[in-house]
Every structure is written in C-alpha cells, then in structure tokens.
Amino acid sequence: TLAGAALGGPVACVSKVELRVACKALLDRDTLNKSDPCVILMVQNQGQWTELDRTEVIKSNLHPVFAKVFTLDYYFEEVQKLRFEVYDIHGTHSIGARDDDFLGGVECTLGQSFIVFLCSTDCSPEEDGEAFIPKVCEVRWEIRHHGRFPLLITLLISLTIEISGNNGYVELFFCAKKLDDKDLFSKSDPFLEIYRINDDGTEQLVHRTEVIKNNLNPVWEPFKVSLISLCSCDEDRKLKCLVWDSDSRGKHDFIGEFYATFREMQKIGGGSKVTWDCMNPKYKLKKKNYKNSGVVILSDLKLHRVYSFLDYIMGGCQIHFTVAIDFTASNGDPRNSCSLHYINPYQPNEYLKALIAVGEICQDYDSDKRFSALGFGARIPPNYEVSHDFAINFNPEDDECEEIQGVVEAYQNCLPKIQLYGPTNVSPIISRIAKLSAGEETIKDASRYHILLILTDGVVTDMADTREAIVRASYQPLSIIIVGVGNADFTDMQILDGDDGVLRSPKGEPVLRDIVQFVPFRDFKTVSIAFLPFLILYLHPSTFPSSFYTSIPPPSLPHSIPPSLHLPFLILYLHPSTFPTSLYSAMPQSYSNQAKRTERCGSPSSQKLQYFL
C-alpha cells in the first residue's frame, strides 16, 4: 500500500484505463422502431453523481457495441464508484430529458472491473520469453430497471490497462473506391469499422469512422489510436475490418470485409499505398466473376512514439538537481529546539528529511553526483545583507556540493553563519534556474533536465513575481517541487500547483505546461518517509522531459545502465506514474536486450516484474 492510502488525502498512485461498453438484450421502448441507445458514465465525487462522459447514440439497436472509449485514472487505493445509465434517445437535446426513456442503470466500482481483469488475464509468454500479451476481459453486469417494466439486460465492459511500456499511437488515413451501391435511389452511405481479434477469438471494436453520405469513393477523417488498443502491441495480430452502408433506422447493409495486420499497414511509404479488396463472402460464393465489392486504401500512416522515462535515462539524459532552502525568520532561532532549523544530534529536522528523501532518488540519475544548494531569505556574510539567492557553501563561483551528504553538511555549516530574516521570496531562484536551463544546449538532444526542490515554511511573499517566473520557466526543461515544512497554512500555495486550474502570470499568460507540484511535508509524518520521493514526483506530471521534449528522441544510448540505478528503477516501478510517462518496462538490464524488445511494437509487460516482486 502506498502512502496515499494511509493518508486518505489526494496523494495516490494512478494508472490509465480504457473502458469500452456494449449492451445486450435492451428493452424495446419504441413502437415502430427499436430503441436508440446511449450510455452515460457517471462518477461519484463527495457523494454526488456527476457525468464524466457519454457514448454516441446508436440508432435502432438492442445489442449496441459503442465505439466511444472512456478513459479514466485508476487509483488502486481508492474506491472509485461508477454508474452506467442506459437511455433510449428521442431527440438531439440533452440526455435525460423528459422525452428520453431510461432503460436501466448499474453501479459498480472501477476496482471491481480491475480485479476481474487481473483474474482473467492470460500472461503466457511469447516464444522469446520476454513479452506478455494480456487477453481482453469483458465484465458482465446485470442492469435492472426499477420501473413499471422489470428489466434484466447485460452490460459488457471491456477493460484495457496500460501495462505495456509502449505509449505510442498511430494515426491512420483510410479511403475507399468503387464500393457497392446498396441504395436504390441514391448511393451508399459507407462507414468503416475496425475490430481487434483477441487470443481467445473474440472481437473488440477499436474504431468506427464517421458516415460519408451518398459516396462510393469515401475519404474518411484520419483518426488516432494507441498501439495497445489497436493490436495489443502485436504487429501480426489480425484486424477485422468491415464496411457498411449506413441506414438511419439502424439496419446497416453489409458491403464487405477484409483482414489486415499492423505489419501490413506499415508497408506504406515512398508514395505507395496499402490496399485491400473489400470482399462480400456471399457474393463470392454466388457470383462466378465476382472480384470484390470495392477497394479500401490506407493512404497514409503516421506512427507517433511517446518516449518513456526509461528511454531518456538509458539514452544518457542527466537530471540536474538543485535545492533551495528557506532561511526566513519564521522558521525560528536554529539554536532553539522548537525551530524548524534546529539541528538535533539524534534525528534530522524536517528540512533534512525532505531533502534526503527526494535528493537520494534524484542523485542516482546524475552522473557527477554534484548538486546545487541555494538559500533565500537570510542575511549573509560578510555584509549581512538580505539575499534571496545565495550558495549555502558561500562559494558563488561553484554552488555545487558532492552528493546529498555534501548538501547536508553545507546546510549544517551554513546555519551558524547567517541571520534568519525575510521575506519569503522564491522568484529570484526560479528565474536563475530557468535562465541556467535555457542557456544550455540541451533541448535539441534532450541530454539534461533540471529539477528544483524548494523547501519553505510558509506562503511565498512575492506571489505575483513567482507566478511570472513559473510561466517563463514552463518553456524550459525544468520542473519545480515545493515542499511545505512546518504547520503553516499553505492554502495559498495551491495556486502555484495549478491542480485547480491553469496557473497564469499576473498579465494573464498561462503556463506552457504544469511544472509545479506543492506538497505539505506534515502529510507524510504518519507514513514512512521512503514514500515521499515518488509520491511527490508522481503528483508532478511534468517531472521528466517526455512532457517537454514532445518529439525529441532520447540522446545516444549507452551500453548498459549503471548498477546504482537498479534499486531506484524498482522503486519507481512500484509507483508506475512517478514520471509523466509510466515506467512499465522490466528491470534494467543491458541495452542490447532492451533494444531487442523495443524493436518490436512495445516493451514487455510490467507483470513480469510484478510476479518477481
């Protein structure tokens, strides 16, 4: 159990899940036609049900398979209550209006679906013994309508969990030519459906295109789909593709079908296109000279690779760690045992606990193990003028310390030499680190990323300047973690966090990306301090360059990962969302093995490591 469970607060471990919904044996509430169903997904928040999302409306169908994919954050330590409501829609107005018929609903928890998924997942290894391909799980719920007409229907929920290390997606451009005309007085209204064929032979709808009216040579809008959803990261997995002539009453006419694989799709290139004959099996048996019912063409394919934290670290990207410590008078006289800066010979104070907890994790990703240590809010020698940006080793030419222990020693040596003063201004240090990261030639090759840890006992005084500095810094390879030390009211600090909205400068300019995470240290007093680093880093979704280097591949790859990284990788795995792209790869090993795996569609499932643990 992670710390978030014990705290009962907002700290949590999260994974992305996808829910696909289908229904069977819906009640027909229409007189002339069948019901036009739609499913609305509700989530419970503080006892109140609110709409999260809804599916499309499928006309005249009592067994609908919806193309809509619900994407949710799964917090394993929380009870996430869901409610699925099924409506028969009679108009274009909002769902739940007086004219719409409520067909039924079911309440469940996301955890229930997740447990069923884990219990039914087949984790048989591939021939090379390295990759794990899970089966798709369908969770069946009985929906009862507690109205005048008792009803028992089935809601099928397909659950997809991001357990593969591959966060890539593909953009597909489909069109067709010379499709069969199924209409008498006009041309067909074609649409395309793509189904993934699972290991057990079941079919899972991946995507349904829009309908192109009155056109035998349709060009469908391009669409994006993750490689996990499309083919479970198996390039040779069969995909069943169906072409239909849309009917407003839901009785679509079958035009034809074809089978494809993602490997076939990737043959596109150099101006060439991939084509498939759209075949109608009945026509093929009955007609001697039958050739096809049209041709479906993949005119373009764009593969987007989303690099993971492991990709960057293995590529040699270095994390430069800087700590900034609050030396304002509100911390109390360091000679007094009640001071937050009091040096107890038997146990570290809260500043040291937070520094060590986060710093020891970051130092494993910095090859030279040298960290900048700064202070603010104190009068410093020799003139004892107030400074909001000084090196705690009092060497302005070289503010770095050897490893975290060097930072600790510099902090302890600094306290007797300075006078705690004020105010709590942090914008100078933020601007300094942002300027440093902007001045380095690191953005082009993603070779360095900065993390600034600010330890403070109160709300910052220069809030306007700090907001402006953060907005400017959001354009640089930099992330900021602010830890509130002591028992002050840190409510106003949540403004910098940006969780309740987009942080803006005083002039209204929004941040380019969310780079700040604020955490009160007191929330961790009841939990092992070992949880602090990856919980802080998890709560900070932009901590690593995958959110900054949007299309920049990792730098050149080393031959192996340093042994010192093995333990942190295990720690980070235990919290898969510690960094913005989930760290789902197996335990670190030589790059030759890693390269062999990533040459395929994705990395091995983290379940191998899960079983090992």
In the predicted structure, residue 151 carries a pLDDT above the cut 70? no
Per the CB < 8 A criterion, the answer to whether 275 and 296 are in contact is: yes
Per the CB < 8 A criterion, the answer to whether 150 and 144 are in contact is: yes
Mean of per-residue pLDDT scores for the chain: 75
Q: pTM score, two decimals?
A: 0.56
In the predicted structure, residue 530 carries a pLDDT above the cut 70? no
List beta partners, residue 22: 65, 156
- 78 pLDDT band (50/70/90 cuts)? low
Q: What was the pLDDT predicted at 469?
A: 96
- Decide which of 430 and 557 is more confident: 430
In the predicted structure, residue 75 carries a pLDDT above the cut 90? no
Beta strands in 76-136 (DSSP E): 81-88, 101-109
Mean pLDDT comparison of 222-231, 301-310, 576-585, highest-scoring range: 222-231
| Least confident segment among 41-55, 434-448, 464-478, 569-583 | 569-583
Q: What was the pLDDT predicted at 34?
A: 85
**pLDDT tens for residues 473-519?**
998 888 888 889 988 888 888 888 775 678 899 999 999 888 888 88
In the predicted structure, residue 20 carries a pLDDT above the cut 70? yes
Q: Over pLDDT 90: what percentage of the chain?
A: 34
Q: What was the pLDDT predicted at 95?
A: 55
Per the CB < 8 A criterion, the answer to whether 319 and 433 are in contact is: no
**Sole residue written with tokens 């994919």:** 69
In the predicted structure, residue 233 carries a pLDDT above the cut 90? no
- Decide which of 291 and 369 is more confident: 291
Q: What was the pLDDT predicted at 379?
A: 96
Q: What was the pLDDT predicted at 512?
A: 87
**Cα–Cα distance measured from residue 347 to residue 137, given in angstroms and rounded to the nearest whole number:** 50
Q: What is the mean pLDDT of residues 124-144?
A: 40
| Least confident segment among 126-140, 206-220, 243-257, 290-304 | 126-140
Cα dist from 3 to 81, 114, 177, whole Å: 21, 21, 57
- Decide which of 328 and 45 is more confident: 328
Q: What was the pLDDT predicted at 154?
A: 59
Q: What was the pLDDT predicted at 237?
A: 93
Side-chain-side CA neighbours of 412 within 13 Å: the count stands at 12
In the predicted structure, residue 153 carries a pLDDT above the cut 60? no
**Cα–Cα distance measured from residue 451 to residue 437, given in angstroms and rounded to the nearest whole number:** 10
Task: Give the list of residues 6+ apart from residue 196 with CB closer than 8 angstroms, or none.
Answer: 136, 203, 204, 206, 229, 230, 231, 232, 237, 239
- 108 pLDDT band (50/70/90 cuts)? confident
Beta strands in 394-445 (DSSP E): 400-402, 419-420
Helix (H, G, I), strand (E, B) or coil at 468: helix
- Which residue intervals of 236-347 are DSSP H helices? 262-265, 281-286, 309-314
Q: What was the pLDDT predicted at 413?
A: 95
In the predicted structure, residue 15 carries a pLDDT above the cut 70? no
Q: What is the mean pLDDT of residues 548-571?
A: 41
Mean pLDDT comparison of 101-105, 554-558, 561-565, highest-scoring range: 101-105
- Decide which of 289 and 110 is more confident: 289
Q: What was the pLDDT predicted at 531?
A: 47
Q: Over pLDDT 70: what percentage of the chain?
A: 68
Per the CB < 8 A criterion, the answer to whether 96 and 90 are in contact is: no
**Cα–Cα distance measured from residue 1 to residue 530, given in angstroms and rounded to the nearest whole number:** 12
Q: What was the pLDDT predicted at 254?
A: 95
- Decide which of 20 and 609 is more confident: 20
Amino acid 433 reads I
Q: What was the pLDDT predicted at 463?
A: 93
In the predicted structure, residue 424 carries a pLDDT above the cut 80? yes
- 260 pLDDT band (50/70/90 cuts)? very high
Helix (H, G, I), strand (E, B) or coil at 599: coil
Q: What is the mean pLDDT of residues 320-329?
A: 94
DSSP state of 114: H
In the predicted structure, residue 566 carries a pLDDT above the cut 60? no
| Least confident segment among 306-320, 344-358, 403-417 | 306-320
Q: What is the mean pLDDT of residues 201-228?
A: 92
Q: What was the pLDDT predicted at 375?
A: 97
**pLDDT tens for residues 373-404?**
999 999 999 999 999 999 999 999 999 999 89
In the predicted structure, residue 562 carries a pLDDT above the cut 50? no
Side-chain-side CA neighbours of 537 within 13 Å: the count stands at 31
**pLDDT tens for residues 435-476?**
998 876 545 566 788 889 999 998 899 999 999 999 999 988
In the predicted structure, residue 521 carries a pLDDT above the cut 90? no
**pLDDT tens for residues 328-358?**
999 999 999 999 999 998 889 989 988 887 7
- 604 pLDDT band (50/70/90 cuts)? very low
| Least confident segment among 193-202, 276-285, 312-321 | 312-321
**Cα–Cα distance measured from residue 576 to residue 538, given in angstroms and rounded to the nearest whole number:** 8
